[in-house]
Amino acid sequence: MPVSVVIASTLDSPVLESCVDAAVRSAAAVGPDAEVLLVANRVRGGRPPRVDSPLLRVLHSSPDGTATARNTAIEAARHDTVLFTDDDLIVAENWAPELYAALRTPGCAAVGTPVRTAVAGPVTSFMNYDRLFDAPPTDAHRARLLVTASAGYRRDLAPQARFNTERHQFFGQDTEFALTLADQGLTVRWLPDAPAPVHHLEEDIASVVTRAVKNGRGSARLYLARRLVHSYVPAPQRAYAGLAGGSFAGYRKYREVDSTGVRAVYATVNLLRTALILAGYLADVGAAFGHDLVELDQDGLVEGFRGVLAGLAATVPDEPWADVPVRLGPGYADAPAIEPHVPAKAVAAVLTRFARPSPKPLPPEVADVFGRDDLAWYERHLADRARITALWRQVEAIASTLTVADFEARARAAGLALPAAFGLLEHVVGQPAARAGWPGAAPAPAAHRRAGLASPVR
């Protein structure tokens, strides 16, 4: 039973020809009847790649967005084993065979793999290091969600699964797709050792800005539609006000990274990314209730943050961006402070100018949305803290011998994505009790304070 590989595209990716050629080679390794479906959508002058192969079919969908394009491919696919990748990724020749083999094992209805980013400088280095395109884990062998940069499913085992074109035409669609699989009692199997496709992105903060805003919007829509605690952002208006005011101190410090310069760049990019996820979240929650909670100028944000990073890069010497040294052994808890090197005020100035929070008080119906699931979120947060504490106790004695990949495997087995694990670690290792809580969240719910659950994890 061969495979159908799906690529949705606007036909303007700089690596489109290499992407399609690699997908064809990989599909051909499964069998001669395999196919690659390139679905053109929202094309603005681009042309299909010059890839001469009988396996390639070029389709056209209505110009509604990526969700529509992928649904068009699902309907047209000749085979029930359907794999997804994007038009700016290059897959390895054994990518399709390995995903196909996993999907042929009993009970496996969907799969996902790691994705890596080709490093060309500090921005793409951050994206690769923070695993921005890896699905979050349930455990070592399952992913909680599905990321269509590298994933697949069995159409015969999930015949009703389609991409939601109403809520998620441009963002959050793969998350919603995974949830439709879960609605049918199906899970996503994680293939940590499968060949990771390589994302080829511009060395430009625009890649982070646009994806962060989309991430926030997608989370808001998922939360409002399904009330999922994983998509809920606690105290978003309070946290965003702190970010836009330059007073938010809870950003990740990347204490595991050796270089102070790399830490400062990573922390700055993560800081602005956190802010823009919140901005997108606020924008879509507000829109759902007919209120403007934040005034977004995305082009202005891109230009503003380009200036912030250019100023920071001028102070950072050449760094090994493709292979960042880390240390998890002695000294982790005492890593030097990097606050003086992070331009938090400059980030805040850009936010205030191009993503200004509304000065109006929250309408009661929006305040209810922002407050009703704080307790559920806090319980999950405490569970995550307990898991990272237990993990650190297991590895602290051997931490200096662990690579990032080693630690990542252990974190995923505990149900934590690598960036979440490192972020939590900063708040449970060597921190006084007063700093043990998540700095961006609202105060611990009263029920937790009475029960003593807000005490630091030791």
pLDDT of residue 442: 36
- Sketch out the chain's domains with CATH numbers: 3-199 (3.90.550.10), 204-372 (no CATH), 374-458 (no CATH)
Radius of gyration of the chain (CA): 22
CA 323 remoteness from chain centre? 21
> What confidence tier does 430 reach under pLDDT thresholds 50, 70, 90?
low
Residue 444: its pLDDT value, please? 38
Q: 89 or 44: whose pLDDT is higher?
A: 89
d(CA 42, CA 66): 9
Worst-scoring range by mean pLDDT, 79-93, 111-125, 360-374, 398-412?
360-374
Quote the mean pLDDT of the chain.
89
Tell me how far apart the alpha carbons of residues 188 and 182 are, in angstroms, rounded to a whole number.
9
3-state secondary structure of 363: coil
Cα–Cα distances in angstroms (integers) from residue 224 to residues 285, 364, 409, in the given order: 8, 16, 32
Q: For position 443, what pLDDT does the model report?
A: 39
Task: Summarize pLDDT for 202-214 with one digit per residue, the tens.
Answer: 999 999 999 999 9
Dihedral angle of Cα 144, 145, 146, 149, to the nearest 10 degrees: -110
* Maximum separation of any 2 CA atoms in the chain, in Å: 68
CA-to-CA distance for 424 and 384, rounded, in angstroms?
Answer: 8
Does residue 447 have a pLDDT over 70?
A: no
pLDDT in tens, 332-384: 888 889 999 999 999 999 999 999 998 888 889 898 888 888 888 899 999 99
Pick the closest to residue 30 from 78, 73, 67 (CA basis).
78
**pLDDT mean over 391-405:** 92
- Are the C-beta atoms of residues 131 and 143 closer than 8 Å to each other? no
